[in-house]
Amino acid sequence: MNLLGFTPRLVSELRNYSKEKFAADLMAGLIVGIVALPLAIAFGIASGVSPSQGILTAIVGGFIVSALGGSRVQIGGPTGAFIVIIYGIVSNPALGLSGLMIATMLAGLFLILLGACRLGTIIKFIPYPIVVGFTSGIAVTIFTTQIKDLFGLTIEGGLPGDFISKWGVYLQNFASIDWATTAVGVLSVLIIILTPKISKKIPGSLVAIIVMTVAVYFLNSYTKFHVDTIYDQFGEIKAGIPALTVPDISWENVKSLFPTAMVIAVLGAIESLLSATVADGVCGDHHNSNQELIGQGVANLCTPLFGGIPCTGAIARTMTNINNGGRTPVAGIVHAFVLLVIFLVLMPLAAYIPMSCLAGVLVIVSYNMSGWRTFLQLMKNPKSDIAVLFITFLLTVIFDLTIAIEVGLLIACLLFMRRMAETTQIKVIADEIDPNEETDAVVHEEHLVIPDGVEVYEINGPYFFGIANKFEELMAAMNDHPKVRIIRMRRVPFIDSTGIHNLQNLCEISHREGTHIVLSGVTPNVYAVLEHNGFCRLLGKDHICPNINVALERAAAILKRP
């Protein structure tokens, strides 16, 4: 398969495949499939959909990501990053599951477009404080959504959607805490924490679910206590592959869901490429980011047809795959088939899993996702980074992820422009030039003398819209009309349209005032831009000089004119 130059990693890996590799991939796929089961169920329920939808996402999405992606060890499936977004869509009566399908499929198309346009590296330009801010914000939000199930609170009328109101309701109803449910949740957290100290091969979440499910079964059957299970909320879970469902897509739905779809796509791209990059560092490989985005896009385009939710590369499951010997995409495909078998054979037993146990699983997920150590580390960075971090974090928690990413990116861009403007310096050289400090000045004398009637300005840095007005203000502050103005541009790496417009205005005004503009040390890139915009005709080619010596000679020749 080679579409427009894109080849899934599976194709190249199968060319030199062997029995030894298959044995390793088979074992890794079995373990990852077992690890993925409780997470898929927990993410499905926390997102406001059924447990089976979470597992179907891991099956379909996991298979497609491994079959069509650009990494040889990436494991795809539902992740905690999407919980907040999915819950917001599903809980909206005007959107519901149909709206979720449309948003996920739009996100899939956008991811495919990003990969096809070879923009896989563009995700790396999203500032790190934004990534940490909304990741930590999502972790806090996930933790908040689990308080009711973790403590077995009785809340009439359902939970409000926003963060502050949720905690207000929790505090008002905390007296309704169920101690048996709380004990199950706390024990589940402890089991997940302690299991790796006994064996790192066995996933703690799976051990917690098995132990607590058995314990709650006997607790509910033979004592007066009752701990809510999945059955209490969703009823009997039926196994079976659902029929393909195509949503009713209307232009109005597309317009209303487009911003949310973009957030899903950006989150999916960030998480999948971050996961693939981490995996590269562990197994010494190099993934194809564009192919990975295409694989992720196709996965999100197809999973909704089976009732699934958004999926992406999952760092924890990918690392489990590597640590257990997985070295090709076959391991990811095996993981999908393992989940399929479990789904078809054992799914009805999932109804007995206690809700507080799943809440405990998600508490650990949110803790690992919070990255609080990284958050504290970023607090030592410049104030602008801290501002972006806190604004993104607070907007994610208090409002929603769409607003957080939009505002965070906007603030980061504005701060970046300010920093760029600060790096560009403009100075006036009044009397003489020291050749020891001026790399383009070639003289035998100790200094280059600037004659009367000539002013020399130096721009040191990019000449873009952030600095153009600064140059104009400096010109106005001088408030004089020399015969010649030399503008040194040897350290100007590029000039944008605003800079061109600003420079053109300066030249035209100077001509009207009887002042000649001479450009010195123009780099080839900047010269090409100026020539394309007619500066050779506006100034004359002899007024665009290769270095300061030639520029001063040209200025001297102009001064001699009557």
Segment 72-127, tens digit of pLDDT: 999 999 988 888 889 889 988 888 899 999 999 999 999 999 999 988 877 767 78
Q: Is residue 407 part of a domain?
A: no
Q: For tokens 């819950």, what's the residue?
A: 87
Question: Residues 124, 250: one domain?
Answer: yes
Q: Put residue 287 in one of left, alpha, beta given phi > 0 → left and psi -120 to 50 → alpha.
A: beta
CATH number of the domain enclosing 469: 3.30.750.24
Question: Residues 366, 430: one domain?
Answer: no
**Where does a domain end: 350, 380, 410?**
380
Q: Decide: 287 and 95 in contact? Cβ < 8 Å.
A: no
Question: Once rounded to an integer, what is the mean pLDDT over residues 323-350?
Answer: 91
Q: Distance of CA 127 to CAs 48, 289, 415, Å?
A: 30, 18, 11
Q: Is residue 8 part of a domain?
A: no
Question: Residues 258, 359: one domain?
Answer: yes
- Who contacts 199 (Cβ-Cβ below 8 Å, separation ≥6)? none
**Where does a domain end: 315, 350, 380?**
380
Q: Is residue 398 part of a domain?
A: no
Question: Residues 182, 328: one domain?
Answer: yes
For 417, the token pair is: 């422009």
Q: pTM of the prediction?
A: 0.74
Question: Residues 376, 430: one domain?
Answer: no
Question: Residues 357, 213: one domain?
Answer: yes
Provide the pLDDT confidence category of residue 171 given band limits of 50, 70 and 90: very high
- pLDDT of 152 over the 80 cut: yes
Provide the pLDDT confidence category of residue 446 given band limits of 50, 70 and 90: very low
Question: Once rounded to an integer, what is the mean pLDDT over residues 396-413?
Answer: 80
Q: For tokens 């972006």, what's the residue?
A: 388
For 370, the token pair is: 């919070």
Cα–Cα distance between 309 and 476 in angstroms, integer?
A: 60
Q: Is residue 546 part of a domain?
A: yes
Q: Distance of CA 79 to CAs 47, 58, 222, 537, Å?
A: 10, 10, 36, 59
- pLDDT of 365 over the 70 cut: yes
Question: Residues 471, 362: one domain?
Answer: no
Q: Give the chain's length.
A: 562
User: What value does the CA radius of gyration of the chain take, rounded to a whole number of Å?
Assistant: 31
Question: Once rounded to an integer, what is the mean pLDDT over residues 438-445?
Answer: 52
Question: Residues 180, 279: one domain?
Answer: yes
Q: For tokens 């070295």, what's the residue?
A: 327
Cα–Cα distance between 15 and 350 in angstroms, integer?
A: 39
Phi and psi dihedrals of 545, rounded to 5? -105, 150
Question: Residues 355, 454: one domain?
Answer: no
Between 265 and 429, the more confident residue is 265
490 beta partners:
none
Q: Is residue 70 part of a domain?
A: yes
pLDDT of residue 442: 54
Question: Residues 77, 186: one domain?
Answer: yes
Residue 482: which domain range?
Answer: 425-559
Q: What residue type is 86 in one-letter code?
A: I
Cα–Cα distance between 215 and 212 in angstroms, integer?
A: 5
Tally the domains of the chain.
2
Q: Is residue 284 part of a domain?
A: yes
Q: What residue type is 266 in one-letter code?
A: V
Question: Once rounded to an integer, what is the mean pLDDT over residues 302-321?
Answer: 90
> How would you classify the pairing of strands 484-491 and 454-460?
parallel
- pLDDT of 258 over the 80 cut: yes
229 beta partners:
354
> How would you classify the pairing of strands 454-460 and 425-429?
antiparallel
Q: What residue type is 276 in one-letter code?
A: A
Cα–Cα distance between 415 and 420 in angstroms, integer?
A: 9
Cα 138-141-142 angle, rounded to 5 deg: 85
Instruction: Choose among 285, 357, 271: nearest CA to 75.
Output: 271
Q: Is residue 545 part of a domain?
A: yes
- pLDDT of 159 over the 90 cut: no
Question: Residues 352, 447: one domain?
Answer: no
Question: Residues 131, 213: one domain?
Answer: yes
Calculate what percentage of the chain has a pLDDT beyond 70.
Answer: 92
- Who contacts 505 (Cβ-Cβ below 8 Å, separation ≥6)? 472
| Burial (0-12, 13-18, 19+ Cβ within 10 Å), 254 | middle
Q: Is residue 411 part of a domain?
A: no
